[in-house]
Structure 1
Amino acid sequence: MSLLPRTAEEFSSADYWDRFFRKRGEKAFEWYGDYNSLCGILHKYIKPRDKVLVVGCGNSELSEQLYDVGYHQLTNIDISETVVSRMNQRNTERRPDLTFQQVDATETGFENGSFQAALDKGTLDAIASEEEGSLAGRMLAELGRVLTVGGRYVCITLAQEHVIKLAVEYFAQDWAVRIHCLSGQQTEDSDSSFALPVFVLVCTKFRQAPPFAVLEMCQGEDGAPTRLSSVPELLSAVKERQAYNLMLHKLRGGTDASSTPSLTLCHAATGRPRYTLTVQDSLPSAKLPRSNHFAIFIVPQGRESDWLYGSAEGRTQLASSAKFKRLVIVAMHRDQEYEDMQAVQSELSPMVMELAPPGMPVNQQVPFLSVGGDLGWREVVGRGVSALTGEYSVEDVRGEDDHLYRRLVFMNNSQLVQSESRLRATATASANKKKNRKKSKASVSEAPAVTGVITRSVDRGFLCCTHHEVMVAGLAMLGTDAFSNKDHPVSVLLVGLGGGGLPQFVHDFVPCSRVEVVELDPAVLEVAHTWFAFQTDERLKVILGDGLEHITMLESKGGHSFDVVMFDVDSKDTTLGMSCPPPAFVETLLLRKVYNLLTPRGLFMLNLVCRDSSLRKSVLERVQAVFPRVFSRGIEGEVNEVLLCCRSAGDGHKPHTVPHTLQQTAKDLQKTLRNKTQTAPCVPQIDVTAMLNDLKVI
């Protein structure tokens, strides 16, 4: 039978505790740990000569053990007559000066300033829910009254949100407040273990209120205090530690391969995120070497959004390749400095060992894995704030292929790369080597080894996103004459600009093409111009506005026909099963408007990212109801698929087959793209045929 309360209100009931201790009998009930686990922190703040008021003592052995090591001025109070009587009987002969009294902690009757310390082990937790905290508030006021100036209220607590908030807010104005987070008190033979860690709240009484709030957080009993500026920050630090211990509690029982708990470790001095740890267990059926229990994998800086590290499928594959029972995948955060791999290992070792799988042998060696022993490289080159999407970062990183890439990342979804372009890094000789030595040295140490000053420029002939390559290759479905007839150049309407790589590529390499882009966010257009070498002219224009409204306006006016309409726009609602496009872009009414905007040879291209199978099916059905021919090209290793939707039924009206002329038109498009013109800045790097090989009929 469980001896824990059924409801929170029972904690503060004298009748409940009387029933509890009758059932418990003589066996001590050590909430939140015994003397051995708490003595370090107690001796730190309570001295043997202090007069100590022990609040809600129960039948704990803590006071007896404190007495035995020299604390002889302990006054124990409890509201349960049963427990007070038993504790007095138990200690009359062995500890004659140890007193137990039936006293209400909210009205003790003791004189002002009678005690140098008040010790509370679980009592605040027990009564804090009563009358929305008013009972607990009265107890705190009473303890504040009976404590002398310089006295300390030492509260051992689980720090549930309503409890710790009440206590900290009460003391924060006039007292110094410090919170120690102790390790969770789980032991295999304990009859009471908690998933949450145990905290010790230490509040020190000042003679007069300090000029500023003194709020501190410590890890362990001897951890250096971290000063926090506000009550919400202190409470947030408590919640972070609780989340960490809850995960540890879960991991002690093991996880399955589909469960990937993660947590963020923050820099102690600044509180800023430093590492994100994701725990990935191997499949139970995996054949693993017997000694491969646990390993740590360090993700190269700037690569945390790569499919292998940033997706559930990729992490599962990584764990399978590593062949360890449990793999902790560590991502480093931007705006943090990391010296080298050895320094990172030293910093992480004390924390990550707590994440070890159950059953791992003691003193087991835990390897740190990485890509070539390298921390990777990332440089933030630009920052800004979008009124629509919030903060963003433009950063250069080194990819797996050792090329440099420029990425746009919005901080509200920092694991997703919104736009990406490959860079060309070229070195130029320095005119004054001594003057430029410092700058050159920094550049060379972080980027691929070159001499002199590094200049980075966007490679406009390289499309980083495979779905962009598929969209460009899909132009082959327009037919060969689409690229040779200067009187009727290819006209493209694209909704969603991003870094501008896709429209810029079409402009640069498809002769005489005319591209109109609709972008909702002015900040994105500014980023594209500033950081991604996007350039507009008479053949490439950007309209700032809502894509839905623009399509409706064009369709209502008539006479605005496009050979291609492309949707490459993401959804800001992360709760949906479809992250691209927003649902309104695939409603039947809008799809019909798109159909009406297309020329007879026209194509509608849709970048679809949908994890919900039923939602995907619904989208395909709506698209098929409007367009007579629909093809799909999946993107390997990603959720993306590109839908190529034809306005016409095709030659011979065979909508359920891939056009037999596609292979030839693909070759013609490839030749057209590589016929360098005066406007093309370089030779494009795309294999059109390969992008269309896996085309499937929907």
Structure 2
Amino acid sequence: MALDQHMFEALSPSRFISFSFPHPFHSHSSLRLAVLDSPIQFTDSPSVAVMFVPFGLETDWIFSTESGHHQLLYDSPGISRLILVGNQEPMITDDSLSVYNRSSDEDSAKSSESRLVVSLQPLFLALFPKSCFKYGIPEVPILSFVDDVICRVVLERCIGSSVGEFLIENVEIERESGKEMFETREFRRRLRFKRMPNLIQTEIRIIPAASLSLDGVEIQNIEFKLDTRVLVHPYLPPMAASLSLIASSIDEQIQTGHRPKALCIGVGGGALLTFLATHLDFKVEGVELDMEVLRVAQQYFGLVENEFLHISIGDATEFLENASKSNKKHKCGSFGVHMSSEYDVIMVDLDSSDARNGIGAPPLGFVERDVLLSARSILSEHGILVMNVIPLDKLFFETLLDKFRSVFDDLFRIDVDNGENFVVVASVCPIRSFPHGTKNKMNSFLSRLRVLLSGAYMDSIKRI
């Protein structure tokens, strides 16, 4: 397609154009350039920035799809046009180029990038909106893509009936400071959807199956085993920490020989479900829309269905509606005793499916009043609804809280401290006291929770 030289003179919300051209320094290769205009119309003068695609990540969905570009744009606040430059995507098969290693020669990479910046400066300026030249020739800001991945290997690419394309990958990440010296390398297994490639759907810790020296061993040549004892996805420990609010109620059930019950809306890889069933002795019901996602959770993430963990395939809102209707019919026995269909906790981990609106959770339809009423109706007297929230904006978050307040008696918030997620907890009845201080230390469930999770999450729960 021929490019009109005037087409970039003005912003066009959500317009996405990509093209390739000869590499200025390598005669037998090409560069790919993509231009994305923000869906948000800024009132001030437009701000344009350039980002270079890291070598080796040209085929990653973050850089090769429109949805990935949208997420990069949303991660760059105030930018109204983003220009991405990288090597032309190579022709690949399903198995080739499935391994990525971060460049070990950062100085050389920066030098090559600097040369390209100088060479491509006229092209970049030609892609600036006309209004950027009001006060002379503008500067060309260069953004850097930074993540914690040292290397990755794709284990499988899949297509789900509802989620579309997704992949499973093993990654080596930079070690956190303070780790024990014998842990020289740190590994994760991740699940990512093409529709939202920058968002990690599930992440679990994996450890080498054999305790041998890993010096110089590449990730694709290491055999791993799963470690389900630790929740490493940033918002899952706060979600589990919310159980401290109903620790007394859970403890009473355990002491009478009953397992507390949890309903998990959105299974993904099943890390939270496995943790609840295996390490906190919950009876867990999960609801997942896509059968292929469930297969992957079982094959790669250690999700095992048994008498204490069961998965239902279907739409979450329909499940809640049907469960609510069933519970109303059988809510009371002859002496008004509640039936066992009620849950102590409902945990919701669902994200928006449209990257054009940014990363958001939960989907707007899931916080409608009738959905929240259905959820409340199947919670026990001391039950709580726990939700992972990624607010699209301040108005979204305030509207969500108002809807919760209209249905539930008490509302709490746990900050995840990653700048994106919040955990919102809504309770059926008012919670009189927080699980702080020494008076709760004899509570066996709370004690176990504090051993498995950082106590900081429990201590940071705030009523809102």
Contact 1:610 1:640 in 2 (8 A): yes
> 1:263·1:276 contact (CA, 8 Å) conserved in 2?
no
Amino acid at match of 2:231: L
> 1:491·1:563 contact (CA, 8 Å) conserved in 2?
yes
Question: 1:421 is aligned with what amino acid?
Answer: I
Cα offset for 1:576? 4.1
- Post-superposition CA distance 1:354-392 (Å, at most 9, x none): 4699799xxxxx9x9999xx9821111222111222221
Out of 691, 694, 697, the residue aligned to residue 457 of structure 2 is 691
Residue 383 (1) aligns with residue 164 (2): no
Q: Which runs of 5+ in 1 are unaligned?
A: 1-157, 162-183, 185-192, 197-216, 228-236, 247-253, 278-303, 317-327, 361-365, 430-439, 652-658, 675-683
Shift of 1:308: 12
Residue matched to 1:160 = 3
Q: 2:197 matched to which residue of 1?
A: 414
1:214-245 CA deviation, whole Å, 9 max, x = no partner?
A: xxx86279974779xxxxxxxxx9xx55849x
Residue number in structure 1 paired with 2:233: 465
Q: Is the 8 A contact 1:396 1:405 kept in 2?
A: yes
* Corresponding residue to 1:583 among 347, 364, 371: 364
Change (3 A) 1:458 1:311: farther
CA distance 1:690–1:272, change in 2 (3 Å):
closer
- Counterpart of 2:13 in structure 1 is none
1:419–1:600 Cα change, 3 Å:
same
Are 1:219 and 2:22 matched, yes or no?
Answer: yes
Instruction: Evaluate the alpha carbon distance shift between residue 597 and residue 578 of structure 1 in structure 2; reply closer, same or farther with a 3 A threshold.
Output: farther
Q: Partner amino acid for 2:316?
A: G
- Give yes or no for contact 2:204–2:232 (8 Å, CA) kept in 1: yes
State the one-letter code of the partner of 2:457: M
Cα offsets for 1:415-458 (capped at 9, x unmatched): 111111111124367xxxxxxxxxx99x943349xxxx732112
**Which residue does 2:186 correspond to in 1?**
403
1:647 aligned residue = 428
Change (3 A) 1:621 1:260: farther
Summarize deviations over 1:486-537 as a string: whole Å, max 9, x none. 43321001100011110100111113x2000000011111111111111111
Write the mapping of 1:483-498 to structure 2, written as runs, cut at 5 A. Answer: 483=251, 484-498=254-268
Aligned to 2:217: 445
The structural deviation recorded for 1:410 is 1.4
Residue equivalent to 1:596 = 377
Amino acid of the structure 1 residue aligned with 2:116? M
Q: Does the CA-based 8 Å contact 2:435-2:458 persist in structure 1?
A: no
Equivalenced residue count is 389
Q: How does 1:498-509 map to 2 (within 5 A)?
A: 498-509=268-279
Determine the C-alpha separation between the residues in 2 that align with 1:218 and 1:330: 11
Q: Is 1:480 aligned with 2:248?
A: yes
Task: Pick the structure with more helix per residue.
Answer: 1
SS in 2 for 1:626: coil
SS at match of 1:487: coil
Cα drift, residue 263 of structure 1: 6.2
Alpha carbons of 1:377 and 1:565: their partners in 2 closer, same or farther (altered >3 Å)?
same
Closer/same/farther in 2, CA of residues 504 and 308 from structure 1, 3 Å limit: farther
CA distance in 2, matches of 1:220, 1:488: 67
Q: Which secondary structure does the structure 2 equivalent of 1:623 belong to?
A: helix
Which TM-score applies when normalising by structure 2? 0.70
Q: Which has the higher contact order (CA 8 A, sep 6+)?
A: 2
Change (3 A) 1:273 1:668: closer
* Alpha-carbon distance, 1:649 to partner: 2.1
Q: Does 1:521 align with 2:290?
A: yes
Contact 1:482 1:488 in 2 (8 A): no
Matches within 5 A, 1:86-125: none
User: Aligned partners of 1:504, 1:383: CA distance in 2, in Å?
Assistant: 23
Q: How does 1:286-325 map to 2 (within 5 A)?
A: 311-312=75-76
Letter in 1 for 2:238: V
Q: How does 1:541-580 map to 2 (within 5 A)?
A: 541-558=310-327, 559=331, 560-576=341-357, 579-580=360-361
TM-aligned CA distance change 1:396 to 1:600, over 3 Å: same
TM-score, normalised to structure 1, is 0.48
Structure 1's 332 and 523: CA in aligned 2 closer, same or farther, altered over 3 A? farther
Three-state SS of the structure 1 residue aligned to 2:275 is helix
Cα displacement (A) at 1:352: 3.4
> Which string of whole-angstrom CA distances, capped at 9 and with x for unpartnered residues, describes residues 130-172 of structure 1?
xxxxxxxxxxxxxxxxxxxxxxxxxxxx9436xxxxxxxxxxx
Change (3 A) 1:195 1:644: closer
Counterpart position of 1:172: none
Change (3 A) 1:629 1:455: same
% same residue: 22
Whole-angstrom CA distance in 1 between matches of 2:26 and 2:247: 71
Deviation at 1:610, TM superposition (A): 0.9
How far did residue 274 of structure 1 move?
Answer: 10
CA contact (8 A) 2:153 2:219 kept: no
Contact 1:310 1:415 in 2 (8 A): no
CA distance in 2, matches of 1:637, 1:220: 38
Q: Which moved more, 1:622-631 or 1:606-615?
A: 606-615
Which structure 2 residue ranges, 5 or more long, are not aligned? Answer: 10-19, 38-44, 90-96, 126-136, 176-184, 332-340
1:495, 1:519 within 8 Å by CA — same for their partners in 2? yes
Looking at structure 2, the residues matched to 222 and 661 of structure 1 have their Cα atoms a distance apart, in angstroms, of: 63
Q: Is 1:613 the equivalent of 2:383?
A: no
Q: Distance in 2 between matches of 1:262 and 1:370?
A: 11
Deviation, 1:351, is 2.2
Q: How does 1:256-335 map to 2 (within 5 A)?
A: 260-262=49-51, 311-312=75-76, 335=98
Alpha-carbon distance between aligned partners in 1 of 2:104 and 2:359, rounded to the nearest angstrom: 39
Task: Provide the C-alpha distance between the structure 2 equivalents of 1:566 and 1:263, rounded to a whole number of angstroms.
Answer: 39
2:391 counterpart of 1:622: no
What residue in structure 1 maps to residue 182 of structure 2?
none
In 1, distance between residues paired with 2:146 and 2:399? 42
Greater gyration radius: 1
* Aligned partner of residue 427 in structure 1, secondary structure: coil
CA contact (8 A) 2:190 2:204 kept: yes
Per the alignment, do residues 524 and 224 of structure 1 end up closer, same or farther by CA in structure 2, a change over 3 Å counting? same
